[in-house]
């Protein structure tokens, strides 16, 4: 009952997936869940699966593998964006703290 581990996506496959999703992004990333849009989303993922199946430069992947990879890529980008924002905020706090400390030193020195 163990399933076989799929091979990891390589850079070329990730780029190809991104390009395929970009062509269908208006369906795939739409938040609505009505019947017509669900059919359009399924058709878009089937088209992407078809593109992977017949592109000799990438491995054959199932629709579910492709959708999962796309979801994981989006989550990874979101985590990286949040981490970069938090890092930037820490740097700004350090800079503000350093400038406030130097202003205090200047005022103290001028009072002598």
Cβ count within 10 A of residue 67: 18
Q: For 20-32, how does the pLDDT look when each residue is reduced to its tens digit (9 = 90+)?
A: 999 999 999 988 8
Biggest distance spanned by C-alpha atoms of the chain: 81
Q: For 43-62, how does the pLDDT look when each residue is reduced to its tens digit (9 = 90+)?
A: 999 999 999 999 999 999 99
Question: Stretch 51-75: mean pLDDT, rounded?
Answer: 93
| Average pLDDT in the chain | 84
| Higher local confidence (pLDDT), 62 or 112 | 62
Report CA-CA distances (Å) from 111 to 7, 99, 104.
69, 18, 11
Check whether 11 has a pLDDT greater than 80: yes
């Amino acid at each position: 009952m163990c399933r076989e581990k799929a091979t990891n996506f390589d850079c070329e496959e990730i780029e190809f997936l991104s390009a395929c999703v970009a062509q269908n992004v208006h369906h795939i990333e739409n938040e609505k869940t009505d019947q017509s849009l669900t059919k359009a989303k399924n058709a878009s993922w089937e088209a992407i699966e078809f593109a992977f199946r017949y592109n000799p430069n990438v491995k054959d992947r199932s629709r579910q593998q492709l959708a999962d990879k796309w979801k994981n890529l989006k989550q990874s980008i979101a985590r990286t964006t949040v981490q970069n924002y938090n890092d930037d905020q820490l740097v700004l706090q350090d800079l503000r703290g350093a400038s406030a400390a130097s202003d205090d030193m200047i005022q103290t020195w001028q009072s002598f």
